[in-house]
Structures are given as structure tokens and as C-alpha cells.
Amino acid sequence: MESEPLSPRDAPVRLALLSPGGAIRAGLRALLQTGGRVEIAAEMADVSELQRMDERVDVLVAVMPFQRLAELEKHLAEGVTSAILLLVTDWEEAAGVPLPNLFRSRAAGLLPLGVEGETLQAALAALLEGLSVGLPGWFSLLGQPGGMPFSPAAGEERLTPREVEVLEQLAQGLTNKQIARILGISEHTVKYHISAVYAKLGAMNRAEAVRIGARRGYLQI
């Protein structure tokens, strides 16, 4: 999946959005434009509209059921555009099938419905670097088994943003009092958050909480 980056770093990236739902397109627009690098060149409600898509679009972001991928493939095969495809679809449906041909023939990525802005931005950046984005299982098919990240056990609770903030401060070796001052909350509340962090991570003390928290990708290093 090696290819030259389509746009030099920091040059605006031209995007086309494809989704039948106007609200979904509006949501995507908001998520994508926070990065500052993105310019929305076209918006479409149906695959048939691909015909009138600007050739200079770098990335086509399509939100559609996985079953309709063949239809999209057909339209793209007609040589409408060489844009990178970023498909946002039902991840579980996609997990049941092998890597679609479409992903072999062009630079393409796949993200689950309900994707967060940060993930969307990261996926876009990776695609523009000529990398693949998608289900880990697919990449072993390509002969490049990706590392399998930690996945939380069923029923494991994620830390809240506030708990992550407290954990960040613990990692700095700060005292409860210092944490309270920095976050503008009471020491009592800090202690409450710390015990919630211990419980969720299964930690007995600060050092353990920091160690486990770092391994699960909560802590900035």
C-alpha cells in the first residue's frame, strides 16, 4: 500500500462527502474541518452523483451500508476519480467479510459508524501518507499482520475525561493537594476520582495505576 502522498503536508486536502443523510454530512463536516487542513469540495447524497465529482478531490468520505460497497465500486471503477476512499460503515458487518477488492485496487480506509473526530483525523492523516486504515484482520490478509492492541475486557469501564486528567497528574508524581489546585477541584473530589481510577484499572496504588493507565493508552508521554 505504498504510494506518494497526494498532498504535501500542510497543503489543504480536498474532500468530497457522500451520505444520504444531510445531518450525517453536517456532522462529518464539523468533525473534519476542526483539523484546519480540510476543504470540502463536494457533497453528495447518492452514489449516482459521483459522476459530477470534481477530479481534483483527494479523498472521498462515504457513509453507507457495507452491502452497498459493490455499487460504489462500480461507479468508482468507471474512472470517475482516483481519490482515496474513506468508508464509514457498520464495523461489525464489515468484520464478517474478507478484504473487499476495492481495498486492493486503490488507497482506501474503513472506519466504524460513530467514529470520533480524533480517530477520523488520524485516519485521514494516515491515508494521505499512503497507509491503510481498517480492521486488523484485513491486514494479516495483506501479509502485513498488524500488532493487536489491548482491547478492554467485556464490561470494563473506560475512564472518564476527568479521571484521565487526575491520572495524568498522578503520573507527574503530584500530591492530592497539588492536583486539586491544578484542576480547580477539592482534595475530597480528587480522592474520589483516584479511588474510581484504582477501581476501574484494578490498581492497588499510585505507581500501579500509572503503569496500567500508560499501558492502556490513557497517559500522554
Partner 1 sequence: MSNGAISELMGNVSEGWVQAAEKAAAFTVLVDARKRLPGSGVVFSSNMILTADHVVEREENIRILLGDGSVHVATLGGRDPANDLALLRLEEAVLTPTEVAEREGRVGQPALTVARPGPEGIQVGWALISAIGGPVRTMRGGLLRRFFRLDATPFPGFSGGALVDLNGRLLGINTSGLAGGTFLSIPVAVAWEIGDILARHGRIRRGYLGIRSQPVEIPPALQQSLNRVQERGLLLVGVEENTPAAAAGLMVGDILTALNAQPLNDPEDLVSVLSADVVGKPVTLELLRGGQKVEKQAIVGER
* Per-residue x/- track, 139-168, partner 1 (CB under 8 A): ----xxx-xxxx------------------
Q: Quote the CA–CA distance of 189 and 58 in Å, as a whole number.
A: 48
Binding residues for partner 1 restricted to 2-41, rule: CB under 8 A = 2, 9
Nearest alpha-carbon partner for 115 in 87, 148, 88: 88
Q: What angle do CA 189, 191, 192 make, to 5 degrees?
A: 60
Q: How far is the CB of 52 from partner 1 (least distance, A)?
A: 33
Cα atoms in the Cβ-side hemisphere of radius 13 Å centred on 185: 15
Binding flag, residue 211, partner 1 (CB under 8 A): yes
Contact 5, 129 (CB under 8 A): yes
Which of 80, 91, 137, 178 is close enough to bind partner 1 by CB under 8 A? 178
Q: How many residues bind partner 1 (CB under 8 A)?
A: 41
Binding flag, residue 99, partner 1 (CB under 8 A): no
Q: How far is the CB of 36 from partner 1 (least distance, A)?
A: 10
Q: How far is the CB of 173 from partner 1 (least distance, A)?
A: 4
Measured from the CB atom, the residue of 23 and 150 that comes closer to partner 1 is 150
Q: Quote the CA–CA distance of 164 and 158 in Å, as a whole number.
A: 10
Q: How far is the CB of 128 from partner 1 (least distance, A)?
A: 10
Stretch that binds partner 1, among 11-19, 51-59, 71-79, 116-124 (CB under 8 A): 116-124
Q: How far is the CB of 31 from partner 1 (least distance, A)?
A: 15
Residue type, 104: R
Binding flag, residue 188, partner 1 (CB under 8 A): no
Nearest alpha-carbon partner for 117 in 2, 25, 34: 34
Binding flag, residue 183, partner 1 (CB under 8 A): no
Measured from the CB atom, the residue of 74 and 177 that comes closer to partner 1 is 177
Measured from the CB atom, the residue of 46 and 116 that comes closer to partner 1 is 116
Binding stretches for partner 1 (CB under 8 A): 1-2, 9, 118-119, 122-123, 125-126, 129-133, 143-145, 147-150, 172-178, 205-207, 210-211, 214-221
